Amino acid sequence: MQATDSPPLPSAPPLPRAQRLSPSVHRRHTRAGLLFVSPWVIGFLCFFAYPFFATIYYSFTDFNGVGAAKFIGFTNYVNLFHDPLFRTSLFNTFYYTACELPLSTIAALGLALLLNMKVKGRAIYRTIFYIPSIVPLVASCMIFVWIFNPVSGIVNDLLTSAHLPAPNWFFSIAWSKPSFILLGLWGLGQPMVIYLAGLQGVPREMYEVAALDGAGPWRRLRYITIPMISPVILFNVVLQLVLCISYFTQAQVIENSDIGGPGTSTWFYVQYLYEQAFQFLKLGYSSAMAFFLFVVSGIIMVLLFRSSSRWVYYANEPR
Amino acid sequence: MRTSRVNRLRLVAGGTTRHAVLIVVSVLLGFPLLWMVLTSLKTNSQALAVPVVWWPHPFLWQNYPQVLSAVPFYRFFLNTLLYAAVTIVGVCLSSSLVAYGFSRIRWRGRDFLFQVMVSTLLIPFFATLVPLFVMYKRFHMVGWYLPLMIPTFLGSSVFSTFLLRQFFMTVPEALSDAARVDGANEFYIYSRIMLPLAKPAMATVVLFQFIYCWNDYIGPLVYINNQVWYPLSLGLYLILGTYTTNWPWVMAAATAATAPIIVLFFLTQRTFIQGIAIQGTGVKG
Amino acid sequence: MDNKGGPGTADKACSAWSRLRGRALSRHRRVGKAAVAIATAAIVGTTGLGSAGAASTPTVNLTWWTMWSGATLQLLNQMVTQFNKTHPGIHVTETNIPSDATTSTAKLLSAIAAGDPPDIFTEWWPEIGSFAANGDLVAMGPYLTGQYAGFTKWEYPVAVQGGTYKGNLYAVPMSLNSWALYYNKGMLKKYGIKSPPKTLAQLDADQAKMWVTSNGRLQQMGFYPDVNGNGFQFYTSFFNATNCFNKAGKYDFEHCPGAQREMNWIASYAKYPYSQVMALQTAVGQVAGGQTDIWTRGLAGFVLSGPWEGAQNVPTSNPGMLGNFGVEAFPGTVPVPSTLGQGNFNIIPKGSAHPQQAFEFIAWLAGYHNEAFVGSIDPKGGWVPAGPSVTKAPAYQAWLKANPWLSGFLPQMTSPYTQAPALTPTQSQLFAAENTATNNVLQKIWTPQRALQYIDQQGNA
């Protein structure tokens, strides 16, 4: 029973300190090591390094994918900052991220805390909590649009019978973004399981000592749980952030099927990038958008990691 | 005496509250899927009825064969299996090699390269998409799955590499040393000792890659043109665009695409949950 | 069960290693075999890859890209089969790229640019102007000789107008759309309306009686300008606002009296709940691949639509409606009848290896010297043919007789008020802008004047 609830996590034992190796052995090891990782090195050069520099190059050109790219200097960037749709899509992505990131963190952590309680049948609850996150994204879009349909959906049926206001969800400019956020909050299985594993790594004795000191559940959460799992929080926040910044599938499925997202109210950044690249073949312009995306997400990541030294606590690290 | 009874009472009450909370959350999270299945068995007029009809009567099972034959759904299913099968081979081969190099051999620059690999997780998919598309276009590879398959043979699945590396690091060094004393070279140790030992970790990798392919939407959207090569995700999208007139059909298609993955999850739950947990706890900052 | 942690000691591991050596290999082979088997099944089991080119005589192979699915796709397949049967020297292979128009367009453009285009591509007209202006299309003029000399005379005038850019013919429709006002007889009766509306004011007044909301949720409606994606564009011919240009040849809808009247009329429907109409449309279905809409479900009094509405949608989605509806010319500010000349045009992308045969196929699809066959297919799709002589085919005549409500769709094809939008390089931007404008006016985000300014601005960009 215990084993199913708390999987034995292989924690990496430190490798023996590198002994002084003779230079020839050292060379041999380096050659063997590089040979083993060479598939990834080739992949990295082809699928990250090359496209990264090519994106920068294309962003200064007028290019439709075939033939020569025409160098046009900063024109794409200038046009970008005068493009109202660029600003709209940037704002929408920011709005979504600013809401989804804290809400999903709280929700996933909350679910993990619930699952970490000592109750019978935890495995069943965990299964139910996890399943929404493996539902194919297109299918979850279908389900949400259907149950949130303002005219025939079950949600508004329940809301009106409870005499609560029934918004127009995916169909109204004011409610379409919150609808997408709800859709995002449905599939949090992955961060939830990661939080759960983190919670199970917190030593029980710490809670017992705190309880003896008279700390209530809230104080225990604030002063023990959260600091102890802060590396896991950082990890999940970073992954969610990457997902939020490149929010695409759900918005594209729902808008292109004309079943929600009125006007440009849920027109997200990479959707616009995708449209410019693959529908209008403005590869230079979309490369400028891609580079801008790269820079902005890079800055956010750096800020996040900088700030993390203040709030992330590593147990086995000297403070 | 008295206090213990109070305690027990409190415990029972606490247990009930906990269950109540857990059940409420379960209902909230499970309801959309339940409603999907219920809708998929209704007639169209039942599905649209106001007030809502909760229980389908009768159960309209023929919604399933009807919608699944309205588009070449089985073909989409096979396409997805093909996509998954090839990329699983690719991921298992390349990720295990790379993971071995990142864990079982000590060499200068190893940890730096590993950091680089992990940090590629932070790069949004779209930041590099355009030049890759142009590159595949030049090689006349756009239109089929090659652009989605080739990278998996070149260690594109960072998560799998990461997971296998975590596993390899738990295997005692003495094992490799014994083989080395026997005169085994690194490739021999990798293929004959480490790979067989890594079966449980490999199973996790296979599972995750399968689910990734099953749900992948953006990749096929960008690279697959012809409908005969659509995977399930694009097939579902096609159904949504074509048959929104008939929501029971749409829900039947959604159920048909979701059910296999849920069954797979039930069968492999432990491998699954452990895999995710390793992913999360292994990363240090 | 749980051997994940790995063996405890090196000794144990070494013996495990020797035991595993034999087994590991066979297991690997089995996995490999399974993967190959699945792969082969997927490739062999489903398409005849490479079987198309296996014919022994030197045939010309043509590829045709279409973007339909469902029932329409089946009709197209029938046509391809018939063509291949009757034209031994040519073999057409159809590739289905079901997606929205812009995606197909991008795929076509990148195929042209890569030097690997299809021979025939079906396009809704908005892109033809930009394709032609960029030199991406084969002009059809050189093929209009010999047996095809009379081809443009054979077509309806709007078909020629909609396929011509700067005096050159670039596109030929395989079917044309014709739009008119459908009404629900039962609802008219229920609300005491004696006869279908003959004027715009009458339509507005009649439909206003039919809106029903219960519990804050829309249940039934009269008429709404934006259902089925029918925005500003689709009503322009009824207001003489199809081609609004100024003296410099730029779009000028802002100062075009017809466009002003039309946009003000659309704005008068902003009093109805936009989001609820869209939600109702999604709930009961929308026209996609020839399906259904609010009107066919009997939940709207009126709708602007084409022959397929009564010919395909009603029988498949609500047979109870048969005999319970009628069709009138849509009342606008110009004399009736009129309609927007528009359709599904076939084009030959630059780089096609066999443009001559491609044109032959396109003309055959349109029904030229092929009236009897196309005349039997068009009724199934609910289509108006590219040329009037197809309507004389026995099968088409029989269809018209069996469905008297169809009578309104053909005379308006030759009406002087029927217009096709002039082809311009920015047509698709214009079209998108007209949709955005319609949505924003109906949601009270923009005034009609602001909306027309936006259309001009996008159309002239």
A151 contacts on C by Cβ (under 8 Å): 217-219, 276, 279-280, 283
Q: Give percent of chain B above pLDDT 70.
A: 91
Q: What is the pLDDT of residue A315?
A: 61
Residues A87-111 have a mean pLDDT of 94
Could you give the CA distance from residue C131 to residue C456 in angstroms, rounded to a whole number? Answer: 21
Please, what's the b/e burial string for C351-363 (b: 16 or more CB within 10 A of its CB; e: otherwise)?
bbebbebbbbbbb
Query: What residue segments make up the domains of chain B, in order of their start?
Result: 71-242
Could you give the CA distance from residue A236 to residue A189 in angstroms, rounded to a whole number? Answer: 12
pLDDT per position as a tens digit, C76-111: 999 999 999 999 999 999 887 765 555 667 777 777
Q: In angstroms, what separates the C-alpha of C313 from chain B's closest C-alpha?
A: 11
Alpha helices in chain B (DSSP H): 2-40, 44-48, 63-70, 73-103, 110-119, 129-138, 146-149, 158-168, 173-181, 186-188, 195-197, 199-215, 218-223, 232-242, 247-267, 269-282
Among candidates B33, B106, B124 on the partner chain, residue whose Cβ is nearest the Cβ of A293: B124
Domain count, chain A: 1
CATH number at residue A223: 1.10.3720.10
Residue B94 has pLDDT above 90, yes or no: yes
DSSP string, C26-68: HHHHHHHHHHHHHHHHHHHTT--TTTGGG-SS-PEEEEEEE--
DSSP C453: H
Could you give the CA distance from residue C156 to residue C151 in angstroms, rounded to a whole number? Answer: 10
Interface check C276 vs B, CB under 8 A: no
pLDDT per position as a tens digit, C125-136: 678 888 888 888
The answer to the question of residue A235 being in a domain is yes
Q: Give percent of chain A above pLDDT 70.
A: 92
Looking at this protein, which amino acid is placed at residue C203? L
Q: What is the pLDDT of residue B8?
A: 62
Residue C364 has pLDDT above 50, yes or no: yes
- Identify the weakest region by mean pLDDT among B216-225, C17-26, C45-54, C201-210: C17-26
If one compares A265 and C210, the residue with the highest pLDDT of the two is C210
Neighbours of C20 (CB within 10 A): 18
Residues A16-29 have a mean pLDDT of 67
Residues C408-433 have a mean pLDDT of 87
Q: In angstroms, what separates the C-alpha of B166 from chain A's closest C-alpha?
A: 7
Q: Tell me the pLDDT of chain A averaged across its residues.
A: 84
Q: Give strand ranges (E) for chain A.
A: 61-62, 70-71
Residue C287 · residue C319 · CB < 8 Å: no
Q: In angstroms, what separates the C-alpha of A207 from chain C's closest C-alpha?
A: 28
DSSP A260: S
If one compares C290 and A31, the residue with the highest pLDDT of the two is A31
Residue B172 has pLDDT above 60, yes or no: yes
Domain range holding A119?
Answer: 82-311
Residue A151 · residue A168 · CB < 8 Å: no
Could you give the CA distance from residue A24 to residue A29 in angstroms, rounded to a whole number? Answer: 9
Q: What is the pLDDT of residue C262?
A: 95
Looking at this protein, which amino acid is placed at residue C9? T
Helix axes C257-267, C427-442, angle to 10 degrees: 40
Q: Tell me the pLDDT of chain B averaged across its residues.
A: 85
Q: What is the pLDDT of residue B213?
A: 92
Residue A8 has pLDDT above 60, yes or no: no
Structure token pair of residue B104: 């079982």
Cβ-defined contacts of B57-64 (< 8 Å, 24+):
B60/B248, B63/B248, B63/B249, B63/B252, B64/B40, B64/B252, B64/B255, B64/B256
pLDDT per position as a tens digit, B200-224: 889 888 988 998 999 999 999 888 8
CA–CA distances in Å: residue C380 to residues A82, C74, C76, C377: 49, 10, 11, 5
Interface check C97 vs B, CB under 8 A: yes
The answer to the question of residue A94 being in a domain is yes
Structure token pair of residue B72: 């070449």
Among candidates A36, A128, A186 on the partner chain, residue whose Cβ is nearest the Cβ of B97: A36
Going by pLDDT thresholds of 50, 70 and 90, the confidence category of residue C441 is: very high
The answer to the question of residue A111 being in a domain is yes
The topology under which CATH files domain B71-242 is MetI-like fold (1.10.3720)
Residues C189-199 have a mean pLDDT of 93
Going by pLDDT thresholds of 50, 70 and 90, the confidence category of residue B280 is: low
Going by pLDDT thresholds of 50, 70 and 90, the confidence category of residue B169 is: confident
Residue C46 has pLDDT above 60, yes or no: no
Q: Do C317 and B245 touch (CB under 8 A)?
A: yes
Residue with tokens 């081609």: C243
Residue A9: its H or E element: none
- Identify the weakest region by mean pLDDT among A20-34, B81-95, C6-20: C6-20
Q: What is the pLDDT of residue B9?
A: 59
Structure token pair of residue C146: 């010999």
What are chain C's domains? 57-177+341-414 (3.40.190.10), 180-340+420-459 (3.40.190.10)
Interface check C14 vs B, CB under 8 A: yes
If one compares C373 and C284, the residue with the highest pLDDT of the two is C373
Reported pTM: 0.81
Nearest CA in chain C to A152: C283
Structure token pair of residue B116: 């680089």
Mutate to test the interface with A, among B93, B105, B130 (most CBs of A within 10 A): B130
Q: What is the pLDDT of residue B282?
A: 57
User: Which residues pair with residue C391 across a beta bridge?
Assistant: none
Interface check C13 vs B, CB under 8 A: yes
pLDDT per position as a tens digit, A131-181: 999 999 999 998 999 899 888 888 988 888 888 888 888 888 889 899 999
Q: Do B154 and A286 touch (CB under 8 A)?
A: no
Interface size, chain A vs chain C, as Cβ–Cβ contacts under 8 Å? 85
Q: Do B200 and C38 touch (CB under 8 A)?
A: no
Residue C8 has pLDDT above 90, yes or no: no
Going by pLDDT thresholds of 50, 70 and 90, the confidence category of residue C335 is: confident
The answer to the question of residue A57 being in a domain is no
Q: In angstroms, what separates the C-alpha of B112 from chain A's closest C-alpha?
A: 12
Q: What is the pLDDT of residue A178?
A: 92
The answer to the question of residue A40 being in a domain is no
Structure token pair of residue C429: 């931007």
If one compares B266 and C255, the residue with the highest pLDDT of the two is C255
The answer to the question of residue A62 being in a domain is no
Cβ-defined contacts of C160-165 (< 8 Å, 24+):
C161/C341, C161/C419, C161/C420, C161/C422, C162/C125, C162/C341, C162/C342, C162/C343, C162/C345, C162/C420, C162/C421, C162/C423, C163/C125, C163/C128, C163/C345, C164/C423, C165/C128, C165/C129, C165/C132, C165/C133, C165/C423
The answer to the question of residue A11 being in a domain is no
